[in-house]
Amino acid sequence: PYDVKLEKTFSKMTDDEKRLMIEKVKIKMNIYLFESLISDI
């Protein structure tokens, strides 16, 4: 199930906005990975 709305929103964004969004996602992923690593210890 591909989100068409998301696709449209993304295509309207500037490169800077895309970069920011990707950075935020990366940070969230890193925090998630970090927490899962800690919980394994």
Do residues 35 and 27 touch, judged by C-beta distance below 8 A? no
**Domain residues of the chain, as ranges?**
4-40
What tens digit of pLDDT does each residue of 13-29 get?
899 998 998 899 999 99
Q: CA distances (Å), 28 to each of 15, 17, 36, in order?
A: 20, 17, 12
Looking at residue 37, its pLDDT comes to 87
Task: Using a pLDDT cut of 70, give the percent of the chain over it.
Answer: 93
Q: CA distances (Å), 14 to each of 2, 25, 27, in order?
A: 21, 17, 20
Q: What is the mean pLDDT of residues 24-39?
A: 90
Do residues 3 and 11 touch, judged by C-beta distance below 8 A? no
Instruction: Report the C-alpha gap between 17 and 39 in whole angstroms.
Output: 33
Query: Residue 41 — pLDDT band, cuts 50, 70, 90?
Result: low
Q: What is the pTM of this model?
A: 0.52
Q: How many residues does the chain have?
A: 41
